[in-house]
Amino acid sequence: MEKIVITGMGAVSPIGQGVQETWQNALNGVSGVGPITLFDTETWQHEWNVRIACEVKNFDPTRYMDAKEARRRDRFEQLGIAAAKEALESSGLQVGPGNAGRIGVAVSSAIGGLTSLQDAVFTLKDEGARKVSPFLIPMLMPNGASGMIGIEFGLQGPSISVASACASGADGIGTAMMMLRSGVADVVLAGAAEATVCATGVGAFDRIGAMSRRNDDYSMTPQPFDKNRDGLVMGEGAAVLVLETESYARARGANILAEMAGYAATADAFHVTAPAENGAGGARAIQLALQSAGVNPDEVGYINAHGTATPLNDAAETKAIKTAFGELAYKIPVSSTKSMTGHMMGATGALEAVFCVQAVREGILPPTIHYETPDPNCDLDYVPNKAREHKVNVAISNAFGFGGHNAVLVVRKYS
């Protein structure tokens, strides 16, 4: 089977704009948490429980696209285009009439343009239907980022978007791998974009009971795997990877960053929001992903965990890792970069795949910050608080989502 390789990456996150800034801030343990600025939480002050989020700071979409087009695109689409632009430029791929039809897009979103939809409902109620934007549907549809990226860069191959909750980004990358192996494309831009930090998004996730409410002292939240964890902090952003067949990449003289070696997806079939407590679905996804990559469990040198900092998720994921690896689980470093970026919903798996590539390339692991008090139910090596030098030939990224979705990616050093 032909290898699928990574030749370019782009990222826009709460801790940096661009892969290098995001990566360096992750290694330095920089937290992206702060008071919400994207909407006025004071409007809801009598019933609002959450006033913090991990926002992308000082994002100017006109750096990446025409100002007129930016006004016609939801924030998640703007973030996706920004990440795709960096990924394409870093790959050195030139798009033209000769190859445009063989370059696909698989940039996912769990929710799509929630802010645009919310604002349109307010407009409809207050001002009437004639004031609703004619661009609303393209702004809210979850495939909007994928479609807009194709339009922006003239990519005419297959264009899709996977919606599998917080596994969307990883599933988008996995779907891109299958597209390449099926022969329908030579190159696919894969990843995800999300921007749900709005009144509706924050309020809805808080109603589920999933959010941290440490509004006044947020210096130690979120706390993945810590005994005192109290929930996730919502994030936003985008990450895109350029995936190619090895033969196409070598023929054009591309700089190959790493191999996207394996992927698998399973379902818990258990509960619409809670993970199966025994972690069986996640464990099976890990095992199947390793099998698809031809990787033995003892070859894995790093796990980027889903690690949301919710009580149920972290305990279930720990069980999944121990079921999949047995006693080896205690020897494999595991970290949750959500401790810094927050939970970027559908985009989170894509950014964490970027972190796995960087860990394999540079031999250094990002930490789980805010880790203070061990939890007996979470007893693995979570790379607490400081980055760690550690040789990694194989890294895996876990992404689990509402609905019981489990997706696992395997990244291997290229040779």
Is 271 among the catalytic positions? no
Query: Which CATH architecture does the domain made up of 4-251 adopt?
Result: 3-Layer(aba) Sandwich (3.40)
> Which residue in the list 54, 166, 198, 356 is annotated as catalytic?
166
The per-residue pLDDT for 410 is 98
The per-residue pLDDT for 278 is 81
Residues 108-126, mean pLDDT to the nearest whole number = 92
Residues 244-268, mean pLDDT to the nearest whole number = 97
> Which residue in the list 54, 198, 306, 405 is annotated as catalytic?
306
Residues 311-332, mean pLDDT to the nearest whole number = 96
Whether residue 270 has pLDDT greater than 80: no
The residue that leads in pLDDT, 31 or 136, is: 31
Residue in the structure block whose two tokens are 């790379």: 383
Q: How many CB atoms sit inside 10 A of residue 288's CB? A: 18
Q: What's the predicted TM-score (pTM) here?
A: 0.96
What is the 3-state secondary structure of the chain?
A: CCCEEEEEEEEEECCEECHHHHHHHHHCCCCCEEECCCCCHHHHCCCCCCCEEECCCCCCHHHCCCHHHHHCCCHHHHHHHHHHHHHHHHHCCCCCCCCHHHEEEEEECCCCCHHHHHHHHHHHHHHCHHHCCCCHHHHHCCCHHHHHHHHHHCCCCCEECCCECECHHHHHHHHHHHHHHHCCCCEEEEEEEECCCCHHHHHHHHHHCCECCCCCCCCCCCCCCECCCCCECEECEEEEEEEEEHHHHHHCCCCCCEEEEEEEEEECCCCCCCCCCCCHHHHHHHHHHHHHHCCCHHHEEEEECCCCCCHHHHHHHHHHHHHHHHHHHHHCCEECCHHHHCECHHHHHHHHHHHHHHHHHHCEECCECCCCCEECCECCCCCECCCEECCCCEEEEEEEECCCEEEEEEEECCC
Residue percentage of the chain with pLDDT more than 90: 87
Taking the C-alpha atoms of residue 199 and residue 207, their distance in angstroms, rounded to an integer, is 12
> Which residue in the list 54, 343, 356, 378 is annotated as catalytic?
343
Is 166 among the catalytic positions? yes
Domain spanning 261-412: CATH 3.40.50.300: no
Task: Please give the backbone phi and psi of residue 182, each rounded to the nearest 5 degrees, phi first.
Answer: -80, -15
What value does the mean pLDDT of the chain take?
Answer: 95
Taking the C-alpha atoms of residue 333 and residue 381, their distance in angstroms, rounded to an integer, is 5
Q: Write out the two tokens for 374.
A: 């061990």
Quick one: which of 334, 262, 326, 256 has its CA closest to 301?
334
- The three-point CA angle 53-59-60 to 5° equals 155
The residue that leads in pLDDT, 111 or 1, is: 111
Q: Write out the two tokens for 148.
A: 């807009």
Whether residue 41 has pLDDT greater than 90: no
What is the 3-state secondary structure of 295-319?
A: CCHHHEEEEECCCCCCHHHHHHHHH
CA distances, 364 to each of 226, 236, 333 (Å): 22, 25, 11
Residue spans in the chain of domains classed CATH 3.40.47.10: 4-251, 261-412
Tens digit of pLDDT for each residue in 347-403?
Answer: 999 999 999 999 999 999 999 999 999 999 999 999 999 999 999 999 999 999 877
Which of these ranges, 72-76, 266-270, 375-379, 387-391, has the smallest mean pLDDT?
266-270
What confidence category does residue 124 fall into, taking pLDDT thresholds of 50, 70 and 90?
Answer: confident
The residue that leads in pLDDT, 168 or 123, is: 168
Residues 208-217, mean pLDDT to the nearest whole number = 93
Which of these ranges, 94-98, 122-126, 144-148, 253-257, has the smallest mean pLDDT?
122-126
| Residues β-bridged to residue 244 | 5, 187
What confidence category does residue 46 fall into, taking pLDDT thresholds of 50, 70 and 90?
Answer: low
Residues 49-71, mean pLDDT to the nearest whole number = 95
Is 343 among the catalytic positions? yes
The per-residue pLDDT for 340 is 98
